[in-house]
Amino acid sequence: MKLPRLLPIDLIITSLCPAQQQPCILFSSGLNRLGIIFRNRTKMPSAKSSYSTSPPPLVKVSSLPPVDSTLVNTDHHVNSPPTAFENPWSSFQKVSLSTIFWTRFGTHPEKNFVPVPEGPNGTRSEELVKVVKPDWGSSNLDSLRATWLGHASFLVETPVLPGCERGLRILFDPVFSERTSPFSFAGPKRYTPTPCTLDELPDVDIVCISHNHYDHLDITTIKALRRRHGAALKFFAPLGNKAWFITNAPCEASEAIECDWWQSNLIEAPGRGTVKLTCCPAQHNSGRSISDHGTTLWSSWALECMTPSPTDQAETQRGKTFFFAGDTAYQSPHCPDPCPVFTQIGNTFGPFDLALLPIGLMTPASFMGSFHATPEQSLQIHQDIKSKLSIGMHYGTVRGGISARYEDVRDPPRRWRVAGEKADVWCGGGVEGGGDARSPEGVGLCHVGETVCV
Ligand SMILES: [Zn+2]
Ligand SMILES: [Zn+2]
């Protein structure tokens, strides 16, 4: 496609990769060299941690046979070996380039721009998600703990086993930059700060990525984490992402593990814990530039904590279970069926003690429905995967792209609460919680920086 030499940055950013709310790098040939200069240069804190550090354990990763081999197939592969990936279900509807342009620039009937609310004298509005200083769930060490770092970023720590100093720590989709964009000056911008700096983040063992969109894979954050932890840190990502980590973290091939859907790994960190981590399907897409749409896989993740058997300490048994949905749709409008994978995930790994489900950046549903679930649909996912407690995520943090012109930032948590109340599973918490304590089961919310313990 021949492009004008200079396009308005907003058009470049929001028009060609809008489904995911993050920009593509789209350059005319003359601008190509500038791409290197203009990459996101958000200043990050130094990599040295002020949090307590201890010698890195030798994290051992071994691949496991699939839990249910009947689920394993290559329907989502394009070519063999795969050169790209696709959503193979009747719940997905392709979106044309003309629809994307019309949704962004046309007189779409659902357009409804509502500015991010402000409090008096430019203070932060009480209607926005609250940011609290994390304590990482330090008074609930025997629980599985998930601390919200904003948008889809969570730090998850497994229950501390007897004789261990801490649990195994996994960082999901960590993003600390100001913009979810390849540019430091344009693209979706954070209106909610992170609850801590990268310096203040506890040491982690694993970084787990759902897909490569800019609001889930942040080069500046990944580089800082690799610098701080060195070879002790392992990266997990769906197929096709390994090369990115080797080049950009940068790390050795053995430190970046990429998985196809339904592939499981046993992760053993002596003195910290053992988990089974399984790459599960999701209905979404991927891409960081105009030329790489769908060339890397997207996924959700299921985590099973392994604990010593009470009858035989040499044996392990399944402990707390956790599901991270990443970015996913449930059923595109006008499609006949919901995505079947959530029932499969529930039957294979459920019940889950805790699930983190996306509820935002879903408007207009006529277009976004192919890639992002609405709060009402995420309630269905909560039920399909057999989750005991599901917390909404992927809202309340960054704004830009197509949904900025359609979605009031207060809508996702409101609709999540209303849907939960209607189904009689609303458990409270977060900006819609009204100050009451959250019930231990159902669907709810948390504050940025808060730790959910199960
Ligand atoms: Zn995405
Ligand atoms: Zn996203």
Distance 398 CA to ligand 2 centre (A): 10
User: Computed from CA positions of residues 417, 422, 428, 433, in that sequence, does the dihedral angle turn out positive or negative?
Assistant: positive
Tokens of 174: 């960590």
Q: Using an 8 Å Cβ cutoff, are 18 and 7 in contact?
A: no
pLDDT of residue 23: 37
pLDDT of residue 276: 98
- According to DSSP, the residues that pair with 275 across neighbouring strands are 267, 305
Distance 271 CA to ligand 2 centre (A): 34
Residues with CB under 5 A from ligand 1 (ion): 20, 213, 327
pLDDT of residue 22: 41
Distance 170 CA to ligand 1 centre (A): 20
Distance 27 CA to ligand 1 centre (A): 21
How far CA 169 is from CA of 355, 364, 389, 392, in Å, comes to 16, 36, 20, 21
Ligand nearest to the CA of 151: 2
The Cα–Cα gap between 284 and 21 comes to: 12
Distance 160 CA to ligand 2 centre (A): 31
Distance 351 CA to ligand 1 centre (A): 26
User: Computed from CA positions of residues 184, 187, 193, 196, in that sequence, does the dihedral angle turn out positive or negative?
Assistant: negative
Q: Using an 8 Å Cβ cutoff, are 304 and 318 in contact?
A: yes
The Cα–Cα gap between 82 and 248 comes to: 22
pLDDT of residue 47: 39
Query: For residue 180, how many C-alpha atoms fall within 13 Å in the half-sphere facing its CB?
Result: 30
Residues with CB under 5 A from ligand 2 (ion): 215, 327
Domains identified in the chain and CATH numbers: 60-93+115-453 (3.60.15.10)
User: Which residue do the tokens 């060609």 mark?
Assistant: 16
CA 212 from chain center: how many Å? 10
Q: What is the pLDDT along the chain (454 residues), one digit of tens a residue?
A: 333 333 333 333 333 333 444 433 333 333 333 333 333 334 444 434 444 455 556 899 999 999 999 999 999 999 999 999 999 999 999 988 888 888 888 888 889 999 999 999 989 999 999 999 999 999 999 999 999 999 999 999 999 999 999 999 999 999 999 999 888 888 899 999 999 999 999 999 999 999 999 999 999 999 999 999 999 999 999 999 999 999 999 999 999 999 999 999 999 999 999 999 999 999 999 999 989 999 999 999 999 999 988 888 778 899 999 999 999 999 999 899 999 999 999 999 999 999 999 999 999 988 899 999 999 999 999 999 999 999 999 999 999 888 899 999 999 999 999 999 999 999 999 999 988 889 999 999 999 999 999 9
Distance 283 CA to ligand 1 centre (A): 10
pLDDT of residue 24: 38
pLDDT of residue 308: 85
CA nearest to 327, candidates 307, 348, 356, 302: 356
Distance 216 CA to ligand 2 centre (A): 6
Tokens of 182: 């390849």
Distance 291 CA to ligand 1 centre (A): 16
Q: Give one word for 396, left, alpha or beta, with left for phi > 0 and alpha for psi -120 to 50.
A: left
Helix (H) or strand (E) segment spanning residue 33: helix 32-38
Distance 336 CA to ligand 1 centre (A): 23
Ligand nearest to the CA of 398: 2
Distance 52 CA to ligand 1 centre (A): 33
User: Computed from CA positions of residues 177, 180, 182, 184, in that sequence, does the dihedral angle turn out positive or negative?
Assistant: negative
Tokens of 434: 């009204």
pLDDT of residue 402: 87
